[in-house]
Amino acid sequence: MRDKETHKWDLQEPFYVMLDGYRIADVVITSHASGRYEDRGAGTGQSGKDIAFWLWQCLKQKRVRLYSPEEPDLYLVDNDLVMAARITALHGEADLYGNPLYRLIVVSFLGRMSENIELRDLKSYYARQRSTRRVTLMQTGRKRR
């Protein structure tokens, strides 16, 4: 996802984007996140590569921000789409000044806050997810006996 366009032969433009103090040089979309984007995001049939390009453009335009300081792995895109992502260091890579570069790995897309109001309060959202999962496990356990 690095910008390789340069206007002059001897100049090298920066190929990273700042996000919450990290220099993001690469975006990776997992297969799970790609499927979740289809279900809960746009649902336009885009491949993981297209989603990564769209997310890279959002990063360049500063449309991605941290969801809250209490949840360091959750990010908002366009103040609507909630995504879970992990930031890892790129080993052996640095910018022109020697600062380390990082990779943004998108693990999952949780959904749009405009469509799912529960995403505004993630503690209750996760509690509801755990309770429904527990009830499902209890029901399947009863069937096996």
**Would you kindly state where each structural domain of the chain is located, as residue ranges?**
1-114, 117-145
3-state secondary structure of 14: coil
How many Cα atoms sit within 13 Å of 80 on the Cβ side?
A: 8
- Mean pLDDT, rounded, for 117-141: 64
4 burial level (CB within 10 Å; 0-12, 13-18, 19+)? exposed
- Mean pLDDT, rounded, for 52-58: 91
Average per-residue pLDDT in the chain?
78
Residue 79 has pLDDT above 60, yes or no: yes
Residue 63 has pLDDT above 60, yes or no: yes
Residue 124 has pLDDT above 70, yes or no: no
The residue ranking higher by pLDDT, 13 or 79, is: 79
Packing angle, helices 48-60 and 31-40, rounded to 10: 80
- Mean pLDDT, rounded, for 111-127: 72
69 vs 84: CA distance, rounded Å: 14
Q: Are strands 100-112 and 22-29 parallel, antiparallel or unpaired?
A: parallel
Ranges 25-29, 44-48, 56-60: which has the least confidence: 44-48
Band (pLDDT 50/70/90 cuts) for residue 7 is very low
| pLDDT over 70 percentage in the chain | 66
Quote the tokens at residue 12: 């090298």
pTM of the model: 0.72
